[in-house]
Amino acid sequence: MCLQLLLCRTFEHSPYYLQPLHPQARLLFIMPLLLIVFTLLLYLHIPASSAATDTLLAGQAFGVNDKLISKNGRYALGFFQTSSKSTGNTNNWYLGIWFNTVPKFTYAWVANRDKPIKNTTSLELAISQDGNLVILNRSTKSIIWTAQANIKRNSTTVVLSSDGNLILGSSSNSSEVLWQSYDHPTDTFFPGAKLGLDKVTGLNRRLVSWKNLADPATGVYCYELDPSGFDQLLLARLDSSTPYWYSGAWNGKYFALVQEMAQSVNWISNFVNTDHEKYYTYSLLHEKVVTRHVIDVSGQVKVFVWFEGSKDWQMVFAQPRTPCEVYAVCGPFTICSDNELLECNCMKGFTITSPKDWEVEDRTGGCSRNTPLDCISNKSKTHTTDKFYPVSCVMLPQNATKVEAAKVESECIQFCLNNCSCTAYSFSNDGCSIWNNDCST
């Protein structure tokens, strides 16, 4: 299936394997010694965590301005507000974990991604009577979000661990985990977390992108263990059963199509398959390096490293390697230009459907026709004035309908013109294919 998809694309430029996009990034993978010196320089001025705590006990009040900070200072948990001038969603509050040492606010986990809080009056994070972790309205006692842990003890404690895991555990036995944020990831894959399946409980840990740059709601793209049982990872749209990227099979050291993993000296991968579990995990050798492994709103899995010098995240790794390989990344009736940075344009005769969504990189609306098809506005289907506009070098859309009856291109064209819901055709050695409704490449 995958091969077919790839065959449709043009790969004119040589695929760029592990070409760090930033010269400093190269250090991470190729010169570990230099890196150590480098990171020492980076970390000298990190403020020691003050009176902050990493623990929330039953009965303690945790309000909208409170924070838990992991012992190593790396991560913080608290309420945050998203803001986007273009969408006007300035009143949405979330409980989440962010990188505490990074001045550019970057969220790594969100508890209530699909249930934004609109008003912070009486907002509280607490351990409930039954020991669960809840976000509630203190004055009405109504529960806004709950970890829904199956609690058998009545005495629990919450800790934000140094590796960014929010753990609800038994107060009497700190190794007894009742619920953890690692089991319910958002879009970020923490080192040490698992991507995959608990075969006993059926829990499947997978990452789903944010809806757009300013909204953590469940987005379009998913990064997960291959549900068909192969030892590999894949990327797919949630609304499509056809993945647009496979990692290739695990060979004991790395996934076959991701050789970057094997070349990296900082990154240790592990694939575990037992009676109880099947998952991929990774760890970092240089624990001081701040990395961010994420499925972004445009469907690429990316690894970033924080560089104090540039005060920004630098991308060191992306899969698929070019943004246009993400299926339908620009939405219906668009052309994606195969550059390092995503560039979306409307097909000729189309205009961006929702510019304010595009601005925050939600392109699911794609482009819309400037003029309705004659076929639709004018019921006289037989003499339509509609014509075709050629779009070259694109990945063919999914869900083609084969038209065996059409043996030559003109028959294929006529077949499409005869049906008002037909929006595109393609004619090749393979014969005639047509597409109905949206046309996403």
Ligand X SMILES: *[C@@H]1O[C@H](CO)[C@@H](O)[C@H](O)[C@H]1NC(C)=O
- Tell which one of 4, 14, 50, 119 touches ligand X (CB under 6 A): 119
DSSP letter (8 states) at residue 332: B
Contact 29, 273 (CB under 8 A): no
Taking CB under 6 A as the rule, does residue 436 contact ligand X?
yes
Closer CB to ligand X, residue 52 or residue 58?
58
Specify the residue, 166 or 284, whose C-beta has the smaller distance to ligand X: 166
Q: Residue 382: CB partners within 8 Å, gap ≥ 6?
A: none
The span of 17-25, 172-180, 215-223, 402-410 binding ligand X (CB under 6 A) equals 172-180
The smaller minimum CB distance to ligand X, of residues 95 and 305, is found at 95
Number of residues that bind ligand X (CB under 6 A): 25
Q: State the virtual CA torsion across 386, 387, 392, 395 in degrees, nearest 10.
A: 30
- What is the rounded distance in angstroms from the CA atom of residue 431 to the CA atom of residue 425? 10
Residue type, 423: T
Q: Does 81 bind ligand X (CB under 6 A)?
A: no
Residue 337, interface with ligand X (CB under 6 A)? no
Residues 370-389 that bind ligand X (CB under 6 A): 378, 380, 383
Interface pattern 139-158 for ligand X (x via CB under 6 A): xx-------------x----
117 lies in the binding site for ligand X (CB under 6 A): yes
* Contact stretch for ligand X (CB under 6 A) within 67-75, 187-195, 233-241, 277-285: 233-241
Q: Work out which of 101, 122, 146, 354 binds ligand X, going by CB under 6 A.
A: 122
Count of C-beta atoms within a 10 Å radius of residue 248 = 17
Best CA proximity match to 173, nearest among 148, 155, 151:
155
Judged by CB under 6 A, the stretch of 25-33, 73-81, 114-122, 215-223 that binds ligand X is 114-122
By beta-carbon proximity to ligand X, the closer residue of 239 and 275 is: 239
Q: How far is the CB of 180 from ligand X (least distance, A)?
A: 13
382 backbone φψ class: left, alpha, beta (φ>0; ψ -120 to 50): alpha
DSSP assignment of 168-237:
EEESS-TT-EEEEGGGS--SB--TT--EEEETTT--EE-EEEEEETTEEEEEEEEEEE-TTS-S-EEEEE
419 lies in the binding site for ligand X (CB under 6 A)? yes
Q: Residue 343 belongs to what H/E stretch?
A: strand 343-346
DSSP string, 349-362: TEEES-HHHHHTT-
Stretch that binds ligand X, among 49-57, 113-121, 245-253, 423-431 (CB under 6 A): 113-121
Minimum CB separation of residue 13 from ligand X in Å reads 27
175 lies in the binding site for ligand X (CB under 6 A): yes
Q: Which residues bind ligand X (CB under 6 A)?
A: 117, 119-123, 137, 139-140, 154, 173, 175-176, 239-241, 378, 380, 383, 398-399, 401, 419, 421, 436
